[in-house]
Amino acid sequence: MLERAGIPAVSVCTDAFRITAEAMANQMGFPGYRYVTVTHPIASRTEKEIDEMARQALPDVIRVLGAGLTYPEVTPA
């Protein structure tokens, strides 16, 4: 939604929600939508662990931010 409004954005979800993320992207007309996954879970981690996860995910976030909205090999249905 933010990207449709011209605001650069990166979606991040845990790997447990990958299927839903793909289904959501298809449903909204963006098959092949680029997003970042991190290891599940979130809720039961310590602050230190979350910081480490964020640090590890950052290169992926930057990569997706600088790339196209979808993977080029996937064209909208």
Residues that bind other proteins (CB under 8 A): 17, 19-20, 23-24, 27-28, 43, 46-47, 50
Cβ nearer to other proteins, comparing 26 with 70: 26
Question: Contact 13/21 with Cβ under 8 angstroms?
Answer: yes
Cβ nearer to other proteins, comparing 46 with 75: 46
> What are the residues facing 36 on neighbouring strands?
12
To other proteins, the closest distance from the beta carbon of 17 in angstroms equals: 7
CB-based burial, 35-65: b 16+ in 10 Å, e otherwise = bbbbeeeeeeeeeeeeeebeeebeebbeebe
To other proteins, the closest distance from the beta carbon of 27 in angstroms equals: 6
To other proteins, the closest distance from the beta carbon of 37 in angstroms equals: 15
